[in-house]
């Protein structure tokens, strides 16, 4: 009896290891995505990186068939003549796709997840992008494009973007550990992992159908009030200034959330913006979707935008 009890109790005691595919538009070898990959792995998640072989910034929701490498992957991270889709031989969870962010996200969800896990991922993390994605930038952003593709495949997806990083090779994380780009990569990675922890440990761990979340981080390190990741506060926002339908009512806002541009750009504060977008139109989602996301992320500790 005792043994039986222990055996049946075991699955409850073992923490469920959740599965994350991470993609971006800056390419598989930029510092920011590798810092994020390591941070999520260190937090106990199973992570597969599937990202473009090259910088594909600004390619939105474009898609094409991947082709063999006619030039090296970014930062010489693979050789000319390498296959259209490849991986790091010492760590096969690091994958590139020589196509667009949408194609890399799809490869991660449709091919790599079944191969490694025999299942879909629990979440797709897109980014953090090198640079912000505010307002109309969401239409051109490959970071947003990859997240929208995942949502359309039925996988919850969150896009992250931050201003302080630079487009540098992952090798600089080790070779230049105190550079601004390295420090920002680690700070944004840590904030993103906190966000992911909150999302995946919520009872639903899901998003309203056909929506994504878009998070933008403030610049760090160059202002005394926003120097460390601990200074960053989360604000619920909308992406576009023009309002077609009322937003949810919080913070006495009369049905209009602050825009992410005003929140992230507010130098007197240190705010990260959190917006809910339709995965098809890339416009702000309605207030029902906003309310559902607020409920899911409640324990993140949102603040009202004070300015
Ligand atoms: C990446 O591509 C974007 C868009 O073409 C460009 O603006 C940016 O300078 C590129 N970055 C690097 C490091 O190549
Ligand atoms: C491949 O993985 C190994 C071990 O993690 C690492 O040392 C190497 O830099 C990686 N190369 C690329 C291109 O990812």
- Domains annotated on the chain, with CATH: 19-300 (3.40.1210.10)
Concatenate the DSSP letters of all residues of 40-70 into one string.
Answer: HHHTT-EEEEEEESS--TT-TT--------S
From the list 247, 266, 279, 275, the residue with the least C-alpha distance to 305 is 266
The rounded Å distance from CA 262 to ligand 2 centre is 39
Q: What is the mean pLDDT of residues 165-193?
A: 96
**What does the mean pLDDT of the chain come to?**
93
Q: How far apart are the CA of 251 and the centre of ligand 1, in A?
A: 38
Whether the pLDDT of residue 13 is over 60: the answer is no
Please work out whether the CB of residue 24 comes within 6 Å of at least one atom of ligand 1: no
Closest residue to atom 5 of ligand 1, CA basis: 57
> Do 28 and 95 meet the contact criterion of CB atoms below 8 Å apart?
yes
Do 23 and 123 form a contact (C-beta atoms < 8 A)? no
Q: For residue range 158-172, what is the model confidence (pLDDT) as tens digits?
A: 999 998 888 999 999
Nearest ligand 2 atom, CA 28: 14
Q: Is 216 in the pocket of ligand 2 (CB under 6 A)?
A: no
Residues whose CB falls within 8 Å of the CB of residue 194, separated by 6 or more in sequence, listed in order: 300
Q: What is the pLDDT of residues 246-305, one digit of tens each?
A: 999 999 999 999 999 999 999 899 999 999 999 999 999 999 999 999 999 999 999 999
pLDDT of residue 244: 87
Q: In this predicted model, what pLDDT tens digit does every residue of 65-119 receive, in sequence order?
A: 999 999 999 999 999 999 999 999 999 999 999 999 999 999 999 999 999 999 9
User: Which residue's alpha carbon is nearest to atom 2 within ligand 1?
Assistant: 57
pLDDT at 307 over 90: no
Query: Which ligand lies nearest the alpha carbon of 86?
Result: 2
C-alpha count within 13 angstroms, C-beta hemisphere, residue 259: 13
Distances (CA, A) of 257 to 107, 215, 239, 250, 261: 35, 15, 9, 8, 12
68 lines ligand 2 (CB under 6 A): no
User: What pLDDT, on a 0 to 100 scale, did the predictor assign at position 91?
Assistant: 98
- Report the separation in Å between the CA atom of 36 and the middle of ligand 1, taken as the mean of its atom positions: 20
What is the 292 CA–ligand 1 centroid distance (Å)?
36
Instruction: Tell me the pLDDT band of 42, cut-offs 50, 70 and 90.
Output: very high
Closest atom of ligand 1 to CA, residue 56: 2
Kindly indicate the confidence band of residue 16, based on its pLDDT and cuts at 50, 70 and 90: low
């Amino acid at each position: 009896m005792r043994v039986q009890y222990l055996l049946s109790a075991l699955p409850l005691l073992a923490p469920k290891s959740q599965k994350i595919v991470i993609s971006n538009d800056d390419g598989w070898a930029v510092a920011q995505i590798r810092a994020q990959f390591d941070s999520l792995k260190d937090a106990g998640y199973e992570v597969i990186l599937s990202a473009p072989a090259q910088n594909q910034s600004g390619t939105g929701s474009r898609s094409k068939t991947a082709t063999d490498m006619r030039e090296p992957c970014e930062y010489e991270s693979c050789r000319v003549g390498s296959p259209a889709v490849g991986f790091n031989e010492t760590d096969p969870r690091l994958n590139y796709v020589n196509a667009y962010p949408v194609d890399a996200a799809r490869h991660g969800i449709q091919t790599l997840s079944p191969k490694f896990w025999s299942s879909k991922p629990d979440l797709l993390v897109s980014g953090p992008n090198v640079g912000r994605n505010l307002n109309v930038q969401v239409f051109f952003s490959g970071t947003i494009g990859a997240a929208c593709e995942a949502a359309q495949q039925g996988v919850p997806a969150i896009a992250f973007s931050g201003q302080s990083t630079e487009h540098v090779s992952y090798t600089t994380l080790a070779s230049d550990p105190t550079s601004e780009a390295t420090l920002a990569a680690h700070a944004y990675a840590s904030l993103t992992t906190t966000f992911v922890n909150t999302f995946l440990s919520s009872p639903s761990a899901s998003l309203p159908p056909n929506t994504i979340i878009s998070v933008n981080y403030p610049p760090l390190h160059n202002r005394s009030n926003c120097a460390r990741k601990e200074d960053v506060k989360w604000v619920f926002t909308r992406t576009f200034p023009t309002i077609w339908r009322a937003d949810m009512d919080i913070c006495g806002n009369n049905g209009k959330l602050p825009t992410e541009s005003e929140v992230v750009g507010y130098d007197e504060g240190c705010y990260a913006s959190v917006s809910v977008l339709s995965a098809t139109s890339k416009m702000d989602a309605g207030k029902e979707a906003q309310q559902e996301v607020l409920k899911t992320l409640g324990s993140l500790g949102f603040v009202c935008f004070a300015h």
